[in-house]
Amino acid sequence: MNFGVIGAGNGGQCMAGYLSMLGHSVRLHDNDFEVIRLLKEKKQIRLEGKLTGTADLDSITSDIQEAITGTEIIMIVTTADSHFDLAIELAPYLHKDQIVVLNPGHTGGALEFLHTILGHGCLSPPIIAETQDLLFSCRASSPGVVQVSGIKQVMDIASLPSEQINYTVDLLNDIFPQFRARPNVLYTSLNNLGAMIHPVPTLLNAGRIESQQTFDYYGDGITKGIANVVELIDQERLSIGKAVGVDLPSIIEWQFEAYGVEATSVYEALTKNPSYKGIKAPSKLETRFLTEDVPCGLVPLSSIGKLLNIEMPITNAFIETTNSLLKVDYWKEGRTLEKLGFHKGEFQELLNVTS
């Protein structure tokens, strides 16, 4: 098949290399001209670790129209805070014979993307799918060289419209046998575990990060006390699922599903996962663990919780702390309910549309 991969960071390079190694036509896009220049110099992407091989790509470009014209499937592998701008940029070129997959969508990704392209000139929208998380645990040690430390065993995926999910999964099954069809995007959006395991440890290690200490994010940065807070914020997420009738796995259950890690506590689940070994903590507070996971994870979760009259004091506290540390207002800049395409009185309508 013909793929366009949008985003040439860690995950995007891994995705492009993996698809090309399987024999598919791949065009890789990024807006960073320097990244594109360096990748063009390399001419190939080499995967090491859990995936090994060298891939030749059909195109490496900063022209987004070139990247997706003639493609059947567009894999967006960027941070979720880029989805809104990408939707505006892509809207004139998308059509109903394509599938867009957000890898991952985080909380409300597919809803925001569809709402945005419809408002910016897309008259014949494609299927918009979102995964629960990125399938690969990976880091680009240098442009064109990706270390793959883990591949999740199962990955939830849902779509808009929801009735197209079986068609989407069947089409991608040979490439991604891990993809598991879910009834609607509430399952994938509320299963955004990154919003649970990224902001809390990052903020509670803010002093170490800001003073430029080098440490393993999971092995050193997550203590038993910090894991307790992660578990409490996760319980607030689970309470939303219970309220809307969506059966969500806890962090412990998800670690077993995705990685096969058996644990009796959140601390044990996060610190004994071999795929997390050696992953370093961010070197600065302006990290995607905050700039992505708070506005595209915690903010929409808190907003949905407020609609349902669910108390979310820990979630709200970490949003406010992030706002203070970074001098931003993610309550306004993040994925508000308006950006997802519905208002307070329309939440039940959303549930009906996505069921």
- Residues tagged active-site: 198, 293
Q: How far apart are CA 48 and CA 140, in angstroms?
A: 10
Strands of 145-151's sheet, edge to edge? Answer: 53-56, 44-49, 145-151, 136-142
Contact assessment for residue 199 and residue 289, using Cβ atoms and an 8 Å cutoff: yes
Q: Buried b / exposed e across 166-192, counting CB within 10 Å, b at 16+?
A: eebbeebeeebebbbbbebbbbbbbbb
Beta strand 25-29 with 44-49 is: unpaired
232 burial level (CB within 10 Å; 0-12, 13-18, 19+): middle
Instruction: Identify which of 98, 130, 128 has the alpha carbon closest to the alpha carbon of residue 300.
Output: 130
Q: How far apart are CA 159 and CA 131, in angstroms?
A: 9
Q: How far apart are CA 164 and CA 331, in angstroms?
A: 32
- Residue 158's contacts (CB-CB under 8 Å, 6 or more residues apart) are 110, 129, 130, 165, 181, 182, 183, 184, 185, 186, 187, 188, 354
Q: Is the peptide bond before 177 cis (omega within 30 degrees of 0)?
A: no
Contact assessment for residue 144 and residue 38, using Cβ atoms and an 8 Å cutoff: yes
Angle subtended by helix axes 299-307 and 313-326, to nearest 10 = 140
Cα 198–Cα 238–Cα 314 angle in degrees, nearest 5:
55
